[in-house]
Amino acid sequence: MKVLFDTNVVLDVLLAREPHAAVAARLFTLVDNERIDGAVCATTVTTVAYVATKAVGGKQAKKLLRRLLDLFAAAVDRQVLEGALRLDFEDVEDAVIHETARAWGAAGIVTRNGRDFARATLPVFHPEELLAAVTATGD
């Protein structure tokens, strides 16, 4: 199952944000074990860089980013950006995440902010929901 991870889920793991970190970390483990084919949007990488640098310093932030890129696919191109601008989303970053997922062929997006993706044409999963679905099916 191909799933694009929203920025908030990635930050939950990398910054150990409770109470969300445990479930998000389990999803990362499923990516690492190749039970989920995970990707992040390039905007997630830049946001993580900014937030992690503030939280843990530049050197540690780069280590986190390297681990992130070892685990997840990441891409954005002009077609994704133009597609995002055509969407009727409140937030352009969310639209870019949606279009990245769509262009990558994702089965859905995992986020804790489902309302941000109310106009999504892809399924949107809460982390607990995705975890339950993947562990129940054995995919």
How would you write the pLDDT of the chain (139 residues) with one tens digit per residue? 999 999 999 999 988 999 999 999 999 999 999 999 999 999 999 999 999 999 889 999 999 899 999 999 988 899 999 999 999 999 999 999 999 999 999 999 999 999 999 999 999 999 999 999 999 876 5
The edge-to-edge listing of strands for the beta sheet with 2-5 is 73-74, 37-40, 2-5, 108-110, 124-125
Instruction: Give residue 138's pLDDT.
Output: 64
Domain boundaries, the chain: 2-134
Residue 19, CA atoms < 13 Å, CB-side half-sphere: 1
Instruction: Give residue 14's pLDDT.
Output: 86
| Four-way CATH pick for 2-134: 3.90.550.10, 3.40.50.1010, 1.10.730.10, 3.40.640.10 | 3.40.50.1010
Q: What is the pTM of this model?
A: 0.93
Report the alpha-carbon distance of residue 27 to residue 112 in Å, rounded: 13
